[in-house]
Amino acid sequence: MSNSPGPTSDPKFLTIAEVAGMMRVSKMTVYRLVHGGELPAVRVGRSFRVQEDDVDDYLRKSFFDAG
């Protein structure tokens, strides 16, 4: 029996470079999303980490019907 609330699997954190690769954009674009508050991130030392679920949520919300 586990004492931790929430999902059974630990969240997976990605580097900015990994997020950029997933989204097929530049690292600078990901930094802009993080600094602009559109993509939640955690600062670890001098670098950022983004939860994989947050990337999935961001992409899901970004879809629009083009016609």
pLDDT value at residue 6: 57
27 or 7: which carries more pLDDT confidence?
Answer: 27
1 within some domain: no
State the Rg of the chain over Cα: 14
23 within some domain: yes
- Pull the structure tokens for residue 31: 């930094």
17 within some domain: yes
How far apart are the C-alpha atoms of 45 and 63, rounded to whole Å?
33
User: Is the separation of the CB atoms in 60 and 22 below 8 Å?
Assistant: no
- Which domain covers residue 18, as residue numbers? 13-62
35 within some domain: yes
pLDDT grade, residue 3 (50/70/90)?
low
pLDDT tens-digit readout, 28-52: 999 999 999 999 999 999 999 999 9
Q: pTM score, two decimals?
A: 0.79
Structural domains of the chain, count: 1
6 within some domain: no
| H/E segment holding residue 50 | strand 47-51
- Pull the structure tokens for residue 49: 């980490």
